[in-house]
Structure 1
Amino acid sequence: MNPFYYDAVTRMEQSHVDDDYIQGWQCGFLQNPKREEQRLTDAYEAGYSDGEEKNSDNFAEWVRA
């Protein structure tokens, strides 16, 4: 298991980050294909891009109120 991946996802979940962002980040990080087009959201797309870059610095922008 990748400790960076596990720690990042745990921090996002504990911070109540938007689920779509987390799912996008996970898919991008693991280099999975994106969701089908009709299910894409801004949060998912942002998470996917950050995950591809292995970047966990931007998730605070997607914390749910």
Structure 2
Amino acid sequence: MNQEYHDTTVKMESEGVNPEYIQGWQGGYVCNPEREEQRVNEAYTAGYEDGLEKKTDGFADWK
């Protein structure tokens, strides 16, 4: 298990971060393909981009 992935997910969930951001971050972090266009939104995209960069502190704006 990737401890950074787990710890960041738990932290975001406990701080009430937008679930769309969390799902985007998780997908980006593990390099999953992005969602299909009609299911993408601003929070998801921001999370996906932060996840791709392995950025673990970009979620403050999504609480």
What TM-score results when the alignment is normalised by the length of structure 1? 0.95
Residue ranges of structure 1 left out of the alignment (5+ in a row): none
**2:15 is aligned with 1:15:** yes
Distance in 1, matches of 2:35 and 2:58, equals 21
Structure 1 residue 14: deviation in Å? 0.1
Residue ranges of structure 2 left out of the alignment (5+ in a row): none
Which residue is 1:29 aligned to? 29
How many residue pairs get aligned? The number is 63
RMSD: 0.4
Percent identity for Structure 1 against Structure 2: 54
Tell me which stretches of 4 or more aligned residues in structure 1 moved more than 2 Å.
none
